[in-house]
Amino acid sequence: MCDAQPTREQQLQRILTPLQRFIKAENIVTSVEALRAYECDAFTTMRQLPLLTVLPDTIEQVQQIMRLCYELDIPVVARGAGTGLTAGSMPVENGLLLSMTKFDRILDIDIANKTALIEPGVRNLAVTQAAAPYNLYFAPDPSSQLACSVGGNVAENAGGIHCLKYGLTVHNILELDVITIEGERLTLGGASLDAAGYDLTALFAGSEGLLGVIVGIRVKLLAKPASARVLLCGFDSIENASHAIAHIIAAGIIPAGLEMIDHTGINAIEELMHAGYPIDAAAVLICELDGSIEEVEDELTRVMSLLEALDAANIQISNNEEEKARIWAARKAAFPAMARLAPDNYIMDGTIPRRALADVWQRINQLADEYQLLVVNVFHAGDGNMHPSILFDAMDADQHHRAEELGTRILELCIEVGGTISGEHGIGLEKINQMCLQFTEAEIQQFHAVKAAFDAKNLLNPGKQIPTLARCAEFHAMHVHQGEMPFPHLERF
Amino acid sequence: MLDIQDLTAQVQQAAATKSPLQIRGGGSKHFYGAATSGTPLMMAEYQGIINYEPSELVITARAGTPLKEIEQLLAQQGQMLGFEPPRFSDHATLGGTVACGLSGPRRPYAGAVRDFVLGVTLINGQGQRLKFGGQVMKNVAGYDLSRLMCGALGTLGVLLDISLKVIPKPHYEETRVLSASFPQMQSLLADIGLQPVPVSATLQHEDQLYIRLSGAQGGVREAIQRIGGDTLADSDSLWHNLKEQQHAFFQQPAPLWRVSIPPMAPAIPDSLYDGQILTEWGGALRWLYSQQGEQIQQWAKAQGGHATCFRNPMAGTHIFTPLPAALLALHQRLKARFDPEHIFNIGRIYPDL
Ligand SMILES: Cc1cc2nc3c(=O)[nH]c(=O)nc-3n(C[C@H](O)[C@H](O)[C@H](O)COP(=O)(O)OP(=O)(O)OC[C@H]3O[C@@H](n4cnc5c(N)ncnc54)[C@H](O)[C@@H]3O)c2cc1C
Ligand SMILES: Cc1cc2nc3c(=O)[nH]c(=O)nc-3n(C[C@H](O)[C@H](O)[C@H](O)COP(=O)(O)OP(=O)(O)OC[C@H]3O[C@@H](n4cnc5c(N)ncnc54)[C@H](O)[C@@H]3O)c2cc1C
């Protein structure tokens, strides 16, 4: 029996002894009950227990942990707040889960340069709160901003309601302090607007913890606009709602936010929040305009006339902060509102050219009928980022299977119209098969090659984000509809 | 037109024989970066706009397309490139612009090249044609290899097709001129920076400060009240001359340094440069002439930034600020993963890269 895999217990002992030399016992979690808290992120249908969880509280400790894991060939998965939607921070078997929650300090707010130096575990909203006394804020605002960490935002290149105008996380960071799998500390980017060498800050944004562990972030802060008003209106057809998006953008207006909610979504949200959304509408559009007072009034008038021409009804416009907050709070409650409709929710994140909006939206509804599942669409319409949520019950194996199939069909549709399978949530493990639909073998190999430049032993979040070629071959073999590949015109292998 | 098959074949041939290539766009930024040698790979013929839909705010074009042509097309639709790239010549190509990663006066307020690149098709060092990113505003499928190409000076691959996000032209622009020394500029900008003032460019030189304001007319007017100064009549030519370095300041034959640091970093010590400094980007970009490159680079680094010898380097100058050893080693590994036979634009950024 000498070639048997080491047991979990044996693996644990290998790492525990050296680890305990520099990490306090209270920051090492090994009991199975306590590890349950780390077995999944917000995509709860995929779970895996880690070998152990470690909560370092200094950068030196992170370096030492990395060196140890490198030496012992133990995989490392970084975890922020665990709000990811794609099993990105789900542990890997026999791997170490590196929880970054103790890195929760805002180290410096540089008012003059409008930047903040923060640790990766700081919650997204905490940055804006700390900057508020100076009339500054951190622009990326995912709906999860109360809970998610900025380290997680960088690793996912998270977006939010206001990224249409103010950009994604990648546009709002200047510098990253990272630790490589070999325990080396590197500074990427700088306090300046550009840096010498390759743009590794941009490469790290959205790299899902596969290239290194982020231990420090210099973010940009923006001055709060003098005025911001939110307009909400209903449409009785998906076509008109989609046209409204195209017309606003074509008029040269870039709203701070431009969101859409479908009929089912409106009703689910209204039931939970009583925000005054028009429950009969086929779709609700929310448009925030910001800037100087005059600018906002001017754009508001122009947007109103565009909307009226498209038969928008129930137009509401916020007159104060409270009304604005009420409209947005309801939008941001979409997730819990849907949770009341079904036990499980499979959120798609495909992004498409805006011109395809009405078409794709309708075809998604047709697909939902075909698979006999309820799909709710609450999404960032302004940048074409669809979020169809497939509602199902994972306890029902058949429903679960249909939900997965439907998800794949929806993402294929997004690729077909020139879009992508993920706009902001990332790939993780949840969408890894669909990567095989979007990229060719050579492209996937190039991704692996980039990873190898950072992590030759493939120890950082292994198995996530970039599928192996074997996995793709298997996926393609299984994913054949009635003996025929879907969309045979798409380049694939 | 030059086709992709040809280009790919040239790269494969070069890889097979391990013979270096120098990727040539329009030759407009010939002066920039370190010299490289090798067989030229001519991109200027690989041109043409592939797709432009104004309501999508996206343009896709072949790398050899003249920048001028792209900007003219956008202007017809009331749109523009947000990063306001310098051309330095009518021959400047889109590929060279992205490869150099240079952005103009609007950069701090609108974003850099890398902020607008949505996707690229490229040929890697094995002669494979690869597509990363796309034509949509948000895309996190796989690593963001298209942004990585920005500023890589063609050392990682040959850019074929590039998709860029474009922005609507501002409705209204006005430039104010006031007299202000460098410290006066810093305190004025620090003060107004905490308010959402629609500044879209600044220039400070010889105790004059120029501030360009862009946006809705009302917003610009409001800002003018706060800033003061006088309206500059022919402002377009000022910003054009600045962007294209046709301003008198840039005409000296000495080593010209580009110092990129936080905007509120202190004034550069007098002892480090000759003559006057020209400051853009609200203080974040400073141009000066100096024979003391190494000291300038050290000083910039201490401020959290870097310095590049932009024109007329002296023999032996490190054109780009040298990287710490571990970071340079990472650059080399990354380069080797794109260009295993070491054929693309060798030495353009750093020797051995
Ligand atoms: C209700 C709800 C609403 C949401 N709304 C949005 C939205 O509007 N927009 C949006 O973009 N996302 C949204 N999300 C998804 C999620 O909040 C984001 O992806 C967020 O950025 C994840 O941050 P986190 O700290 O929870 O990271 P985790 O879930 O803990 O980790 C995410 C990934 O980041 C990596 N990671 C975390 N920290 C580090 C680090 N320090 N160094 C290296 N890698 C690290 C992990 O390994 C993992 O791959 C939503 C999620 C929920 C539950
Ligand atoms: C006729 C001629 C002769 C030259 N002779 C020499 C010489 O002997 N020695 C020497 O050192 N230099 C020489 N140069 C300049 C040399 O080619 C430049 O260093 C460099 O190529 C920048 O100019 P460019 O032609 O690419 O122009 P630009 O368009 O300004 O390109 C700037 C940068 O972008 C890169 N680039 C351009 N297009 C792409 C693309 N599609 N994909 C990836 N990268 C791209 C270029 O390689 C260059 O680094 C010569 C240039 C010309 C036009």
The residue from A55, A73, A99 where one domain ends is: A99
Question: For residue A56, what are the domain limits?
Answer: 9-99
What is the pLDDT, as a whole number, of residue A483?
43
pLDDT of residue A481: 52
Question: Are B150 and B117 spatial neighbours (Cβ–Cβ below 8 Å)?
Answer: yes
Residues A196, B308: C-beta atoms closer than 8 Å:
yes
Same domain, A133 and A212: yes
Q: Does one domain contain both A121 and A218?
A: yes
- Tell me, which fold does domain B4-168 have in CATH? 3.30.465
- pLDDT tens figures, A10-26: 889 999 999 999 999 99
β-bridge partners, B306: B260
Mutate to test the interface with B, among A187, A199, A455 (most CBs of B within 10 A): A199
**Same CATH fold, B254-311 and B4-168?**
no
pLDDT (average), residues A196-207: 98
Whole-number Å distance, alpha carbon A127 to ligand 2 midpoint, is 43
Q: Under an 8 A CB cutoff, do B196 and A111 touch? A: no
User: Is the model's pLDDT at A295 over the cut of 90?
Assistant: no
Contacts of A252 in chain B (CB under 8 A): 78, 168-169, 171
For residues A260 and A187, membership in a common domain is answered with no
Question: What is the tens place of the pLDDT at every residue in B189-229?
Answer: 999 888 888 999 999 999 999 999 999 888 899 899 999 99
pLDDT tens digits, A340-370? 999 999 999 999 999 999 999 999 999 999 9
CA quadruple A189, A191, A193, A195: dihedral sign: negative
Between these two residues, B80 and A489, which has the higher pLDDT value? B80
- For residue B218, the model assigns a pLDDT of 85
Mean pLDDT of A211-235: 96
Q: Does A191 touch chain B (CB under 8 A)?
A: yes
What A451-458 contacts at long range (C-beta under 8 Å, 24+ apart), as own/partner pairs, is A451/A210, A451/A211, A451/B143, A452/B337, A453/B330, A453/B333, A453/B334, A453/B336, A453/B337, A454/A180, A454/A181, A454/A210, A454/A211, A454/A212, A454/B330, A454/B333, A455/A180, A455/A181, A455/A210, A455/A211, A455/A212, A457/A70, A457/A73, A457/A181
Rounded mean pLDDT of A40-65?
97
Q: How close A395 comes to chain B (CA, Å)?
A: 29
Q: Among B102, B143, B350, pick the best mutation site for testing chain A contact (most A Cβ within 10 A).
A: B143
Contact B151 A194 (CB under 8 A): yes
CA distance B198 to B182: 21
Residue A422: inside a domain, yes or no? no
User: Residue A142 pLDDT more than 70?
Assistant: yes
Confidence band for A491, pLDDT divided at 50, 70 and 90: very low
What is the nearest CA distance from B262 to chain A, expressed in angstroms? 5
**Contact with chain B for residue A379, Cβ under 8 A:** no
Would you list the domain boundaries of chain B? 4-168, 172-243, 254-311
pLDDT bracket for residue B31 (50, 70, 90): confident
Give the C-alpha separation, A336 to A315, whole Å: 25
Q: A28-35 — which CB contacts under 8 Å span 24+ positions? A: A28/A52, A28/A53, A28/A54, A28/A55, A29/A53, A29/A54, A29/A55
End position of a domain, from candidates A337, A371, A400: A337
CATH topology of domain B172-243: Alpha-Beta Plaits (3.30.70)
Residues A217, A112, single domain; the answer is yes
Average pLDDT of span B240-253: 97
| Percent of chain A with pLDDT strictly greater than 90 | 88
What is residue A294's predicted lDDT score, i.e. its pLDDT?
85
Asked whether B31 and B12 are in contact (CB, 8 A), the reply is: no
pLDDT of res. A5: 73
Last residue of a domain, one of A280, A314, A337: A337
Banded model confidence at residue A4, pLDDT cuts 50, 70, 90: low
CA distances from B267 to B248, B285, B292 (A): 22, 12, 16
**pLDDT, mean over chain A:** 94
**Residues sharing a CB contact under 8 Å with residue A100, sequence separation 6 or more, in sequence order:** A56, A78, A79, A80, A119, A120, A121, A149, A151, A213, A214, A215
Is residue A89, in this structure, part of any structural domain at all?
yes
- Over chain B, what is the mean pLDDT? 95
Q: Are residues A178 and A215 in the same domain?
A: yes
Which residue minimizes the CA distance to atom 3 of ligand 2?
A: B27
A441: pLDDT confidence band, cut at 50, 70 and 90?
Answer: very high
**Substitution candidate for ligand 2 out of B4, B21, B23 with most atoms within 8 A of CB:** B23
Query: Could you give the CA distance from residue A331 to residue B271 in angstroms, rounded to a whole number?
Result: 57
pLDDT at B352: 84
Chain A residues whose CB is inside 8 A of the B115 CB are 167, 170-171
pLDDT band at A489 (very low <50, low <70, confident <90, very high): very low
Q: Do B143 and A447 touch (CB under 8 A)?
A: yes
Answer whether residue A480 shows pLDDT above 80.
no
Q: Is residue A269 a contact partner of residue A334, using CB atoms and an 8 Å limit?
A: yes
Q: Is B212 helix (H, G, I), strand (E, B) or coil?
A: strand
Check whether A84 has a pLDDT greater than 90.
yes
Tell me how many domains chain A contains. 3
Domain of A213, CATH number, reads 3.30.465.10
Residue A474: inside a domain: no
Whether the pLDDT of residue B288 is over 80: the answer is yes
Same domain, A119 and A209: yes
Q: How far is CA A362 from CA A184, A339, A489, B154, in A?
A: 50, 23, 22, 43
Rounded CA gap, B167 and B181, in Å?
33
Burial of A300 (0-12, 13-18, 19+ CB in 10 A): middle
Beta strands A388-392; A344-347: pairing state: antiparallel
Reduced to 3 states (helix: H, G, I; strand: E, B; else coil), residue B160 is strand
A446 and B145 within 8 Å at the Cβ level: the answer is: yes
Statement: residue A1 has pLDDT above 50: no
Instruction: State which ligand 1 atom lies nearest to the alpha carbon of A215.
Output: 41
Helix/strand/coil for B216? coil
Tell whether pTM > 0.80. Answer: yes
- Window A:33-62, CB contacts with B under 8 Å: none
What's the per-residue H, E or C state across chain A?
Answer: CCCCCCCHHHHHHHHHHHHHCCCCHHHEECCHHHHHHHCCCCCCCCCCCCCEEECCCCHHHHHHHHHHHHHHCCCEEEECCCCCCCCCCCCCCCCEEEECCCCCCEEEEECCCCEEEECCCCEHHHHHHHHHHHCEECCCCCCCCCCCEHHHHHHHCCCCCCHHHHCCHHHHEEEEEEECCCCCEEEEECCCCCCCCCCHHHHHCCCCCCCCEEEEEEEECEECCCEEEEEEEEECCHHHHHHHHHHHHHCCCCCCEEEEEEHHHHHHHHHHHCCCCCCCCCEEEEEEEEECHHHHHHHHHHHHHHHHHCCCEEEEECCCHHHHHHHHHHHHCHHHHHHCCCCEEEECECECCHHHHHHHHHHHHHHHHHCCCEEEEEEEHHHCECCEEEEECCCCHHHHHHHHHHHHHHHHHHHHCCCECECCCCCCCCCHHHHHHHCCHHHHHHHHHHHHHHCCCCCECCCCCCCCHHHHHHHHHHCCECCECCCCCCCCC
Tell me which architecture the domain covering B254-311 has in CATH.
2-Layer Sandwich (3.30)
Question: Given this model, what pLDDT does residue A368 score?
Answer: 96
How many degrees, rounded to 5, is the angle at CA B235 between CA B232 and CA B238?
115
Express each pLDDT in B141-170 by its tens digit.
Answer: 999 999 999 999 999 999 999 999 999 999
Residue A66: CATH number of its domain: 3.30.43.10
Structural tokens at position B239? 């910003």
Q: Is the pLDDT of residue B27 over 70?
A: no
User: What are the two backbone dihedrals, phi and then psi, of residue B144, each rounded to the nearest 5 degrees?
Assistant: -85, 75
Return the pLDDT at A3: 56
ipTM: 0.96
Q: Cβ contacts of residue B171 below 8 Å, gap of 6+?
A: A252, B215, B216, B217
Residue A465: is its pLDDT beyond 60?
yes
Rounded mean pLDDT, A293-318: 94
For the cut 70, the answer to whether the pLDDT of residue B85 exceeds it is: yes
